[in-house]
Amino acid sequence: MTKASFTGQPVSRLEGKQKVTGTAKYAAEYEVPDLLYGYVVCSTIAKGTITNIDIDKAMAVDGVVEILTHNNRTKLAWFDIQYADMDAPPGMVLKPLRDTTVHFFGQPVALVLANDYETARYASTLVKIDYESVHADTYLPDHTTKAREPKKGLATALKPPPPPPTGDFEAAFESAPVKASAVYTHGTEHHNPMELFATTTVYEGKGKLTIYDKTQGTINSQVFVANIFGLKFKDVKVLAPFVGGGFGAGLRPQYQLFLCVMASLHMKRNVRVVLERKQMFAFAHRPQSIQSLRFGTTEEGIMMAMNHSTVSETSQYEDYTETVSSWSHKLYPCPNTLFEYKLVPLDVPTPLDMRAPGGSTGMHAIECMMDELAYKLDMDPVALRLKNYAAADPSTGKRYTSKALKECYTKAAAHFGWDRRNPQPGSMTRGNKLVGYGMATGIWDAFQFPSRVAAMLTTEGKIEINNAVTDIGTGTYTIMTQIAADVFGLPMEDIIFNYGNSSYPFSMFQGGSSVTASTSSGIVVAANELKKKILKQIKQAGNTTFGKAKTEDVIFKDSRICLKEDESIYLSFADVIALNKGRAVKATGMGAPHAFKLRKFSKATHSAVFVEVEVDKELKTVTVTRAVSAVAAGRIINPKTARSQILGSMVWGISKALMEETVTDKKAAKYINTNLAEYHIPVHADINDLEVIFADEEDNLINELGVKGVGEIGLVAVPAAIANAIFHATGKRINDLPIHFDKLL
């Protein structure tokens, strides 16, 4: 008999054994015959022009087959098409080897192709390149006077600018009885997923390619390759069944895909290009940002005035935007607001979405500002947030489809022991440590994108689901199998979920905490279509078991299709296949956001994070000793994988607050810590007691299953909670991330 419900159960990852035993294959691990290995040669200047490339010594190395440069590259169909792919963010992906122009340090300028990787790498050191270099600007704080509005286009349409001002901010702030102002900064951060970016291209002949790519969207890569190289979409197949992390770095095609495909078409051979860790620092990153905030309240703590102005970096050749300055007004009502967001073009690669893009940046500043106000008001930080709690979205006046943030505050505070906090900074100690308590609120959008799903009742009585979605380590494969098992009334072992293949029906990239809502809705819609198809087949075969029953009158259960009102009236799946003359029954359905129904609502996930830190009295080193995160994200399909997502985000929040920083050498105009020895991320010894609580949040509006994503919401509040805890421990406000011990000395 089928279990009553798999959704809501803490099912372990179905592919977990493959990953931990090494049988799961990633983009650079597929065995392909007659393979050429490519090694990328990167520029050693940050801005200027290539005046000459000498490849003679490199070509003389035994085993080197070809070296591609701008002088001999394949002619392309669309080198400059701006929106050829479905990038996140949309824009013009830099395509290497286009011409002699160098836009940033580390830009790919040649590709060495050899019979093995080591030979290609060695030969790359013999490629001699002469440049005419000019001054490059890479450090945001030196160039804030150059800030300008983002250029209007598809990017700003999908990530709209901050809302227009309301009331009279300047007058309200000036007259506010209690006010606070501060500048918050954080430098460049890089994604650094465990799996290196890699592409293996299999040349099938006649313009056909099979591509194993490290990507968060197989169809994204497929559309990019087909458009840029002038190929038919159906002749380009992209596979990514296993992805070793992405965090946003794989949302748009990275340059190894472009170079690998170019080389394969040029040589008419199979090619593999794998980037080194240092080369991955020459693309996707979270941009440098400087935020200026001014908040004012009444004597009772009611918000009177809010100003949030952000300046962020972008590249010289493309505007990258984030939603940074708009979040406070989605949380806190205020009659007088002024929100601004500007860009400074620098000689760097275009930044890219990095887990909770804009949100983790903006919420750090907002929630630290709220904490500062709480101390000035002599008010509990939780009480200040509850005093300014909004059931509806203050920025639009629209009611949220669901919002259980109050429950997050209550549950997390009780579990953490917030009532034991002595509010006086520096008053709590433990041995030679100063102890600090801090908290912060989190908010993130509840996205959903269209997703087409193919469902099939196989001749063996199983259900096969096909969708192009990737699983970047979030548990998508597992939870979609759980959902399909419940929808079709089968045990999980009778569900075949195929994914990570651009040949399957459409799915957007995995990003923005959107996939669970998107793909699950597609499964539900496809299931209904399959029920219709099965009923039609039964009736066409002359079987009268269900009489005039409609789709809503039947259910799938225990490998049967039954009447809802009388489950003793049924046909087994085997009966259905027999009635269909031994053939499988197939159907497709498109799950899509309920745009019309939801036009009167706002959609978001919420969280409350409470943190304890210890600060060494002499050394000023900071340790996060424990943290509690309560999350309201609708229906939780799998509490085990969802908890893992939140835990991973909490770890990243600790890393963002205390460790992660890509250091720029202003004179050389390059990043100088392009490795995991000097780009610091947490190890096991850095992480202590982390707890996750899910609020009871029922959302009957947002989509078919009432689900929201949890990938980003676990991160956004953590850095601010840590910074606030450090203030409570030390009495020092440190507004620059990361917070290193030297800032507390």
* Residues belonging to the active site: 712
Amino acid at 483: I
Structure-block tokens of residue 89: 């963010």
Backbone angles phi, psi at 612, to 5 degrees: -115, 135
Q: Are 214 and 319 in contact (CB under 8 A)?
A: no
| Helix, strand or coil, per DSSP, at residue 489 | coil
Q: Are 273 and 198 in contact (CB under 8 A)?
A: yes
Based on the number of CB atoms within 10 Å of its own CB, is 506 exposed (0-12), middle (13-18) or buried (19 or more)?
Answer: middle
- Non-local (6+) Cβ contacts of 496 within 8 A are 458, 462, 463, 464, 465
DSSP type of residue 143: -
Based on the number of CB atoms within 10 Å of its own CB, is 690 exposed (0-12), middle (13-18) or buried (19 or more)?
Answer: buried
| Helix, strand or coil, per DSSP, at residue 376 | helix
Q: Are 413 and 630 in contact (CB under 8 A)?
A: no
Q: Cα(416)–Cα(627) distance, rounded to whole angstroms? A: 8
The alpha helices in 298-444, defined as continuous H runs, are 328-331, 359-377, 381-387, 405-416
| Helix, strand or coil, per DSSP, at residue 556 | strand
Backbone angles phi, psi at 624, to 5 degrees: -85, 105
Q: What angle do CA 731, 734, 738 make, to 5 degrees?
A: 135
Q: Cα(90)–Cα(85) distance, rounded to whole angstroms? A: 8
- Non-local (6+) Cβ contacts of 611 within 8 A are 437, 438, 439, 624, 626, 627, 718, 721, 722, 724, 725
